[in-house]
Amino acid sequence: MSSYKQIAKSSGLVAFVSIFQMISGLVRNKAISLMLGAKGFGIYGMYQVFIETAISFSSLGLDKSGVRLIAKADNDDLVRKYVYLFKLALITTTVVVSLVCALFSSQISASLFGSEDYTIGVLIACIAVAFRSISQGQISILNGIRDLKALALTQIISAVFGSIFSVLLIYIYGEAAIPASFLIFGFFSLVVSWAGLRKYHFKNVGVGRQEGIDTVKHLLKLGMGFCVSAVAAALFTYFARVYLNSFFNLETVGIYQACWIISNLYIGIILNAMSVDFMPRLMKVIDDRKKVNLQINEQMELGVLLSGIGVVGLVLFSELALTLLYSKEFVSGADIIRWQVLGVSLRVLGFPLAHTVMAFNKPVRYTIIQIVFAALEFGLLVLFTQLYGEDGLGISYFIAYIFFMILWYATVRNLSNFRLSKKLVKLLFVNWGFIFAAFMTVRLLTSNWFLGVSILLFIVYVFTINFLLEKYMGLSIKGLIVSKIIRKKR
């Protein structure tokens, strides 16, 4: 019972920051979609995909490996040495990748938009890549030295000011200001994260040549395990957006981007909060297969219940979500979201399995599965859109995550003889039963009955989740919220 409470209550600060970033991102996207429409938001989405892909290359996983290396340092001199070498390595890779992207800006423009008219915009986006990559490195240093309050404050301030000024730019200058909006957001991230680190007065320290080379090699070796899968995912996401633009148009890209953001936001918060706690707990019992399997099942059980609220809610109210968070122009993507959140419901099951593979120190298997899945997701997107047009956009996502779950389950079954617990099977049966009922409500009921039945079904589902939390885990939705408020007041 205490294990469930540890999972639920851990990483509260991470969850709070994630929620704040989600809200600021939704407000920013809402404003931009209203000002630019679906086509303009499609252009915005294409720039965003390019920037995220370039950042994956520029960081080479150093932002992840740097955290681990700095956190392991057992004295101040070693911390300063690692911070110095980490910053040097990250700035070098960032500058190189940003310059390469700038040199091929016209080709990138042609690839993204089918025209070289956006070359200047790509050049501006390259600067944004440099700002964002370096700021992520500075946030990694804060994480490594465990200054979580500064880390949280840095991310919140940069999100607020970055969002305000990027939206103002687009409001004043319209579509032409999209690249500059990313630049200003990256600038605030860079400045605020630098300010968060300034109080530590990290100074460059003398490092021997061979020692520096060995440390950087170690950083890169650790980072590549994280980097390869991230780059593969970013590249195939990039290919998918380019394909959608060529096969459909920028309006479809904008609608698909909006649907993808909504369907992944809620689950992203849950997974980010849980990831901080799950891996350390798993590593403590990694030599005991029974305890490993118990940890995985407990993580899945709680994840299924918490994520299900968002899944059922979006199946029932996807039109409302698109209208509120974007505009009525995006409502045609309602069915895309419904199929995508089914995939998201499987993602929460695959999350602890993927972490378990890394806990068993199997980076090659982890990387291969991630690459295979990214390629499969892109292939299914192409196949289903060729067969069913826009109707295939959401279905392909769901089918891809069925394979995602199968791949991870088979791998962990091989590593630890893992099986789903009876409790998890019961919870899945209840959860998917409500999801099926939500789908039937959407498909069968007319507008006269739909809203009332949908609200009633959602309320019943929330009470059911609360009952299951209390019965199996000694938790409750109300109890968790009240306890958070009480702790804050104290």
C-alpha span between 455 and 383 (Å, rounded): 36
The 3 state secondary structure assigned to the chain is: CHHHHHHHHCCHHHHHHHHHHHHHHHHHHHHHHHHHHHHHHHHHHHHHHHHHHHHHHHHCCHHHHHHHHHHHCCCHHHHHHHHHHHHHHHHHHHHHHHHHHHHCHHHHHHHHHCCHHHHHHHHHHHHHHHHHHHHHHHHHHHHHCCCHHHHHHHHHHHHHHHHHHHHHHHHHHHHHHHHHHHHHHHHHHHHHHHHHHHCCCCCCCCCCHHHHHHHHHHHHHHHHHHHHHHHHHHHHHHHHHHHHHHHCCHHHHHHHHHHHHHHHHHHHHHHHHHHHHHHHHHHHCCCCHHHHHHHHHHHHHHHHHHHHHHHHHHHHHHHHHHHHHCCHHHHHHHHHHHHHHHHHHHHHHHHHHHHHHHHCCCHHHHHHHHHHHHHHHHHHHHHHHHHHHHHHHHHHHHHHHHHHHHHHHHHHHHHHCCCCCHHHHHHHHHHHHHHHHHHHHHHHCCHHHHHHHHHHHHHHHHHHHHHHHHHHHCCCHHHHHHHHHHHHHC
pLDDT (tens place) for every residue of the chain, 490 residues total = 446 665 555 455 566 666 777 778 778 888 888 888 878 888 888 898 889 888 878 877 777 667 666 766 667 777 777 777 788 888 888 999 999 999 999 999 998 888 888 999 999 999 999 999 898 888 878 877 766 677 778 888 888 888 888 889 998 988 889 999 999 999 998 998 888 877 776 666 666 666 667 777 767 766 666 677 777 877 788 888 888 888 888 788 888 888 888 887 777 777 766 665 666 567 678 788 898 899 899 888 888 888 888 899 999 999 988 888 787 888 888 889 899 888 888 888 888 898 888 778 787 888 889 889 989 999 999 999 999 888 888 899 899 999 999 999 999 999 999 999 999 999 999 999 999 999 999 988 877 788 899 999 999 999 998 888 888 877 666 655 554 444 444 4
Closest listed residue to residue 128, CA positions, set 230, 59, 52 = 52
C-alpha span between 446 and 322 (Å, rounded): 20
Whether the CB-CB separation of 357 and 408 falls below 8 Å is answered with yes
Sorted by sequence, the CB contacts under 8 Å of residue 316 that are 6+ apart come out as: 438, 441, 442, 454, 457, 458
Q: Which two tokens stand for residue 101?
A: 């992207």
Angle at 257 between CA 392 and CA 442, to 5 degrees: 55
Whether the CB-CB separation of 323 and 331 falls below 8 Å is answered with yes
pTM of the model: 0.70
